[in-house]
Amino acid sequence: MCNTHDANTHEKLAKIHLEKGNDQKAHEHMLEAASIYTLVAAQEKNTILHQKANQCYQKAHQIIGTQKPELTIPELARATLHDLDHVNKAKTDHQKAHSHSTPHHH
């Protein structure tokens, strides 16, 4: 089970990637952090973690140049899962485009 320590780790990784200029990785880690904070906030009915989830979600989008409003916990849950699914699909498509098939020789 993920916890706030895991979310904090994702936030730190996002900052590292941002400093290195890897915006896509930073975006992904910040979404992961937002997703974890959302889950824990929902379980514990914790308004501080709900605010933290919103901050991470908004930062994730600022990294890629988009703006997002504050969301409720159910909205954050849907939005972070949707965005992470989109990121993972983009990574899979990128890997497929760059994988080299080796011809079979007889």
Q: Report if residue 106 sits inside a domain.
A: no
Give the pLDDT score at 1: 62
Q: CA neighbours within 13 Å on the CB side: how many for 32?
A: 21
Number of domains the chain contains: 1
pLDDT of residue 84: 95
**Does residue 93 fall inside a structural domain?**
no
Q: What is the pLDDT of residue 67?
A: 95
Cα 104 → chain centroid: 39
Domain extent, residue 30, equals: 4-86
Domain assignment present for residue 20? The answer is yes
Q: The tokens of 17 are what?
A: 């990637």
In a domain, 99, yes or no: no
Listed in sequence order, the residues at least 6 apart from 66 whose beta carbon sits closer than 8 Å to its beta carbon are none
Walking along the chain (106 residues) 10 residues at a time, the average pLDDT comes out as 90 97 96 97 96 98 95 97 91 78 49
The string over 56-66, giving b where at least 16 C-beta atoms fall within 10 Å of a residue's C-beta and e elsewhere, is bbbbbbebeee
Q: What is the pTM of this model?
A: 0.87
